[in-house]
């Protein structure tokens, strides 16, 4: 079903049971399949929404992929080249660039930095990542599940995190930088 004042741009594909709320905007070349789009949500161009629930006033894409089990609270944002699978993003939560959020719960107003990956699969089993309210995950972080970052927790950019981060704690999980004097770039053999 489709609400009032909905904008469907060119080449939008709608498959299965799709509900689009009043005032929603679906930009060009999106695919909507068995999903629900909330009031005043915007699905930017080239995004795929499959089996997901998108709350009111959410911003999705461009080039985002929401897979089955993705649930986004009011005003959540999933940006370009972000994939969300079997995860809940609370109201105001953001994953704006180049991230994978799988088998996770993300609290209200949490921020997931560019290049962050939730490592949910160990080769045999899937595990969950739990991020509390107001959590900040710095860019290029790797969150190895099972993992919990409590409310107001902070993960420094470039960290690999494997243990619980407590409330209002900063996790830094990276090696100290070393600068090697006299290093020579390898030379390719001549043909």
Nearest partner of 154 among 169, 139, 176, judged by Cα: 169
Catalytic site residue from 44, 48, 97, 127: 97
pLDDT tens for each residue of 48-79? 999 999 999 999 999 999 999 999 999 999 99
pLDDT tens for each residue of 121-162? 999 999 999 999 999 999 999 999 999 999 999 999 999 999
Say if pTM beats, i.e. exceeds, 0.85. Answer: yes
Write the CATH number of the domain with boundaries 1-85: 2.160.10.10
- Does residue 185 surpass a pLDDT of 90? no
Mark whether 127 is an active-site residue. no
Q: Which two tokens stand for residue 178?
A: 């070393």
Side-chain half-sphere CA neighbours of 112 within 13 A: 37
């Amino acid at each position: 079903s489709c609400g009032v004042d909905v904008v469907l741009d060119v080449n939008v594909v709608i498959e299965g049971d799709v509900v689009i709320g009043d005032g929603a905007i679906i930009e060009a070349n999106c695919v909507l399949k068995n999903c629900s789009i909330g009031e005043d949500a915007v699905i930017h161009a080239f995004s795929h929404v499959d089996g997901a629930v998108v709350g009111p006033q959410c911003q999705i894409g461009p080039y985002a992929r929401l897979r089955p089990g993705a649930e986004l609270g009011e005003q959540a944002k999933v940006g370009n080249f972000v994939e969300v699978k079997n995860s809940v993003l609370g109201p105001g939560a953001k994953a704006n660039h180049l991230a994978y959020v799988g088998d996770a719960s993300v609290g209200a107003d949490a921020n997931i930095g560019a290049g962050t990956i939730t490592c949910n699969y160990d080769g045999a089993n899937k595990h969950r990542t739990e991020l509390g309210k107001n959590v900040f995950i710095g860019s290029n972080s790797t969150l190895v599940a099972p993992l919990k970052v409590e409310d107001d927790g902070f993960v420094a950019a470039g960290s690999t995190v494997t243990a619980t981060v407590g409330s209002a704690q900063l996790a830094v999980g990276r090696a100290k930088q070393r600068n090697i004097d006299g290093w020579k770039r390898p030379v390719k053999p001549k043909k």
